[in-house]
Amino acid sequence: MIKIFLKKGREESLKRFHPWVFSGAIGQIAGNPAEGDVVGVYASDGSFLAYGHYQIGSIAVRVLSFDDSALNPHFYEQALGRALQVRRAVGLDADDCTNTNCYRLVHGEGDGLPGLIVDYYAGVCVMQAHSVGMFRAKRQICEGLKAVYGDRLKAVYDKSSGTAPFKAGLELVDGYLYKSEGFSDDEQTVLENGHKFIVNWTEGQKTGFFLDQRENRALVGRYAAGRNVLNLFCYTGGFSIYALSAGAKHVDSVDSSAKAMMMVDRNVALNGFDQSRHTSHCADAIEFIKNAPEGKYDLIIVDPPAFAKHRGVLKNALRAYQRLNAAAIAKVAKGGLVFTYSCSQVVDKEQFALAVFSAAASVGRSVRILDRLNQPADHSVNIYHPEGEYLKGLLLYVE
């Protein structure tokens, strides 16, 4: 295994278990590693620090283990087994599976597997590699999933073509790494808190479903009874289904993706709701809220895609959050609620709260913060890697 030696004094962050080695910290590389190779990282005095995937770029190594005996043929099986244990400990993956049978199994650094996402949909695992190392390890990851789930694993689908860095020699084509006998569908009906959703990993966005809003959807369910609800950026209608189930008077769902809106209609029908209580709008959510009549909605959900994908666009993103939230706060009925989110990793909680504060101030209404909202336990954050925290939200009461 190729050894990488850090410059003197640059081992500190690894000693505090931060799982990245930046290229500027590297003193010397003993050999010529290919991207995605597992390399050993050593302090300048030669002492072992960590193993990880080598990559070209500002993050040069993403750490797989700080334990010099951890790398064995069962590494992925063991790491996936630990990840599953955590999901079981928080009540996901219960034996009877009558309430929720979908969750995120692997959340990158949060599960000690940097660059890897695995979502579990009632027996189907959909993986996305975000690094060359994880992409090259996909067959081992698939074997690990088979070992961890046993007979209940129906399929493993690799959907890395949009996430793995494109490198010459990598064949970035999505497809099944494993299918059990008789398995043929590209979609699956899952249960989330007792609600049914169709998840299609080949046609859908990301791995097919936004599992990170599970708890926030349940919270909307707590407040939706009797209300006129507007679900902006609804995707396949997650929040809408919970609101309808909780007894919302009517729900309007809005997304610019026609494919997503077709799924909303299927999900509304699948859960047996009267179509008269729900309307689908394939439209631009920003235009929709700007043109909405004042006071029509007494619960509005605002869950846009990440406006800032990197730091360079942070300022513009904050302005976009501000404008969007100003429109929602302006339009919501007196005594109404706004559930507002940001899934941009580079926008932190404070910056987001400040954007929403500026939005409220620009509209001039009295606004209380009732709750601060987060990503759920299966989108786990490694305490030594705070960068893993990305979803934040506020529940506002608007007078």
Report, as residue numbers or ranges, the catalytic residues.
343
Indicate the residue whose CB is closest to ligand SAH.
Answer: 238
CA 389, CA 383: separation in Å to the nearest integer?
Answer: 10
Site for ligand SAH in 226-255 (CB under 6 A): 233-236, 238-239, 255
How near is the Cβ of 136 to ligand SAH at its closest, in Å? 29
Provide the minimum distance between the beta carbon of 237 and ligand SAH in the complex, in angstroms, as a whole number.
Answer: 7
Q: Encoding tokens for residue 304?
A: 């846009």
Residue 255 C-beta: closest distance to ligand SAH, Å: 4
Does residue 292 touch ligand SAH according to CB under 6 A?
Answer: no
> Which residues from 184-223 bind ligand SAH, rule CB under 6 A?
205, 210, 213
Residue 260 found at the interface with ligand SAH (CB under 6 A): yes
Q: Could you give the CA distance from residue 240 to residue 220 in angstroms, rounded to a whole number?
A: 9
Q: For residue 257, state whether it binds ligand SAH (rule: CB under 6 A).
A: yes
Q: Please give the Cα distance from 323 to 316 (Å, whole number).
A: 11
Give the nearer residue to ligand SAH in terms of CB position, either 228 or 231: 231
- 103 belongs to the binding site for ligand SAH (CB under 6 A): no
| DSSP for residue 46 | S
* Residues 50, 66 contacting (CB under 8 angstroms): yes
Nearest to 327 by CA among 353, 294, 304, 351: 294
User: E strands, the chain, where?
Assistant: 3-6, 20-22, 26-30, 38-42, 48-54, 59-65, 102-107, 116-121, 124-129, 155-158, 175-179, 187-192, 195-200, 228-232, 250-255, 278-282, 299-302, 336-342, 367-374, 392-398
Strand-pairing partners, residue 398, are: 336, 367
| Residues between 300 and 319 with contacts to ligand SAH, criterion CB under 6 A | 303-305
Question: With respect to ligand SAH, which residue has the nearer C-beta, 180 or 256?
Answer: 256
Minimum distance, C-beta of residue 118 to ligand SAH, in the bound complex (Å): 18
Site residues (vs ligand SAH, CB under 6 A): 205, 210, 213, 233-236, 238-239, 255-257, 260, 284-286, 303-305
